[in-house]
Amino acid sequence: MPLDFDSTRLPSPHLTESHEAWRRTVRAFVDREIMPHVNAWDEAEGFPRELHRKAAAAGLIGLGYPEVYGGVRDGVDVFHSMISSEELARAGAGGLIASLMTHGIGLPPIIVLGSDELKARVAPLVLSGEKIIALCVTEPSGGSDVANIRTRARRDRDHYVVSGEKTLITSGCRADFLTVAVRTGGEGAAGLSFLLVEADRPGVSRSKLDKMGWWMSDTASIQFDDVRVPAANLIGAENSGFAGIVANFNMERLGMAAQAIAFARVCIEDAADWARQRQTFGKPLVKHQVIRHKLAEMTRHVHASSALLDNCAWRVKNGETPVAELSLLKVQATRTMEFCAREAMQILGGAGFVRGHRVERIYREVRVMAIGGGSEEIMLDLAARQMGL
Ligand SMILES: Cc1cc2nc3c(=O)[nH]c(=O)nc-3n(C[C@H](O)[C@H](O)[C@H](O)COP(=O)(O)OP(=O)(O)OC[C@H]3O[C@@H](n4cnc5c(N)ncnc54)[C@H](O)[C@@H]3O)c2cc1C
């Protein structure tokens, strides 16, 4: 049996032919449109905007969104989304997924909470890949303590006036639409709202951040300097944004876990391949027991994490929101990625340190996966509190 990306995926009782067909579609898209370019895009710190339109045409952007806005929801469940995450991760470039799929965190608040007018105005443009949307929650004063957001939106007759700063915003420089968490009321979670800000409004300024990894993903600091936004851009009721922020996080964590485990499978595939080819001390590397055990350990971690992912996805599909398990899953999956990236780099030896391949890139992306979308410490504490501790 080969030890590769496919063989390290546990069979799931929840997958049907519809899921397998979707896997083939996404795989063909990744092989055709992403794999040949991904190293160059990372070095160039960006990818063509055209890829959004191509991904939309392939069905990736609209998956799970209402048909009326150009999406496909009929017959689609959370396992289809997991497959998108996994297959995109096969390219070994988290930055690409983060940027290409930012609508996955930027659009749901509008779909779930927004008015019909707002949905009709924004969703078709985003789901067709014509426009890019970003989610702006994190601020320079901190990302974990979401309830303490400081960016303020002050009501002025039929407008809001937004002032404050967001940071670490994925697709922040390229985005046309910004889904911004703002303070419209008093202190704490009860004073937060979501507001749609068109990025070309006077008073919005953006600057690119240079990062350790995710080079091809644009990450920005965004300044809001008395930006006037029509009150019709309010997403949902005033001061009810916190629930939307939290709901968004749960789905983001499930997707990130699927990605992280798939990155770990990429590490196994490339390390196993190298260990078979590389000769040391007169025999293939893989024939040294220490190296064999590394690959077995990596696979053990992947299997355990995959089983938890499968269970969480099944519960979400059935309408549950298992907050504690989703939080633990995010930690489990990103630790699996971290372990596998380390061990794969070790097996690759010096060759692993040379730029321009999947494992080296994944190694640089470990920290953002363990911090973004809810850091390990915050996830473990959230789970602990859910467990009554
Ligand atoms: C590349 C990248 C892209 C991102 N994209 C987006 C985006 O598109 N939109 C967006 O809104 N945000 C985005 N983020 C921000 C991300 O969600 C935050 O980095 C994350 O929520 C953590 O916030 P922070 O970095 O401010 O860390 P802080 O909140 O300052 O925390 C720093 C460290 O202290 C720990 N810590 C904090 N509080 C506690 C506590 N009470 N107990 C124990 N430990 C604690 C944290 O776990 C963390 O390790 C992105 C981040 C990165 C790196």
- Kindly state if the Cβ of 137 falls inside 6 Å of ligand 1: yes
Q: For the domain bounded by 17-127, which CATH number is listed?
A: 1.10.540.10
Is ligand 1 within 6 A of the CB of residue 291?
no
- Read off the DSSP letter of residue 188: S
* Residue 2: predicted pLDDT: 85
Q: 228 pLDDT exceeds 90? A: yes
Alpha-carbon span 26 to 54, nearest angstrom: 12
Is residue 174 scored above 90 in pLDDT? yes
Q: How confident is the model at residue 197 (pLDDT cuts 50, 70, 90)?
A: very high
Q: How far is the CA of 190 from the centre of ligand 1 (A)?
A: 21
The helix/strand/coil state of 183 is: strand
**pLDDT for res 248:** 83
Residues 6+ apart with CB under 8 A from 65: 71, 72, 73, 107, 111, 123, 127
Number of H helices, E strands in the chain: 14, 10
Q: 327 C-alpha vs ligand 1 centroid, how far in Å? A: 15
Which of 137, 194, 378 to probe ligand 1 with, by most ligand atoms within 8 A of CB?
378
Cα–Cα distances in Å, from 221 out to 210, 334, 340? 11, 25, 32
pLDDT value of position 229:
98
C-alpha–C-alpha distance, residues 153 and 347, integer Å:
52
Phi and psi at 156, nearest 5°, equal -135, 95
> 133-239 and 243-386: same fold?
no
List, in sequence order, the alpha helices (H) in the chain: 17-29, 38-44, 50-57, 78-89, 94-100, 103-106, 108-113, 116-127, 241-277, 289-317, 323-348, 350-353, 358-371, 376-386
pTM: 0.97
Residue 254, helix vs strand vs coil: helix
d(CA 47, CA 178): 20
Mean pLDDT of the chain: 97
Of the candidate CATH numbers 3.40.50.300, 3.30.1490.20, 2.40.110.10, 2.130.10.10, the domain formed by 133-239 belongs to 2.40.110.10
Contact between residue 259 and residue 315 where contact means Cβ atoms under 8 Å apart = no
Q: Which atom of ligand 1 is nearest to the CA of 211?
A: 1
By most ligand atoms within 8 Å of CB, the mutation choice from 101, 144, 218, 377 for ligand 1 is 144
Indicate if the pLDDT at residue 195 is higher than 90: yes
CA 46 to mean position of chain CA atoms: 17
Residues facing 136 on adjacent strands: 180
- Answer whether 167's CB lies under 8 Å from 140's CB: yes
Q: How many angstroms separate the CA atoms of 247 and 309, rounded? A: 18
CA 201 from chain centre, in angstroms, equals 27
Indicate whether 1 pLDDT > 80. no
CA nearest 361: which of 92, 151, 48? 92
Answer yes or no: are the C-beta atoms of 348 and 291 closer than 8 Å: no
Task: Report, as an integer, the average pLDDT of 258-265.
Answer: 98
Q: Which pLDDT belongs to residue 246?
A: 86
pLDDT at 360: 98
Every domain of the chain and the residues it spans: 17-127, 133-239, 243-386
List beta partners, residue 305. Answer: none
Q: How far is CA 319 from CA 65, 111, 313, 383, in A?
A: 17, 17, 10, 19
pLDDT band at 328 (very low <50, low <70, confident <90, very high): very high
The third-level CATH classification (topology) of the domain covering 243-386 is Butyryl-CoA Dehydrogenase, subunit A; domain 3 (1.20.140)
Q: Are 82 and 258 in contact (CB under 8 A)?
A: yes
Q: Write down the residue that tokens 């689609």 correspond to.
A: 76
Which of 375, 380, 382 best tests ligand 1's pocket when mutated (most atoms within 8 Å of CB)?
375
pLDDT band at 354 (very low <50, low <70, confident <90, very high): very high
**From ligand 1's centre to the CA of 48, what distance in Å?**
28
As a whole number of angstroms, the distance between CA 89 and CA 329 comes to 17
Cα separation, 187 vs 363, in Å, equals 39
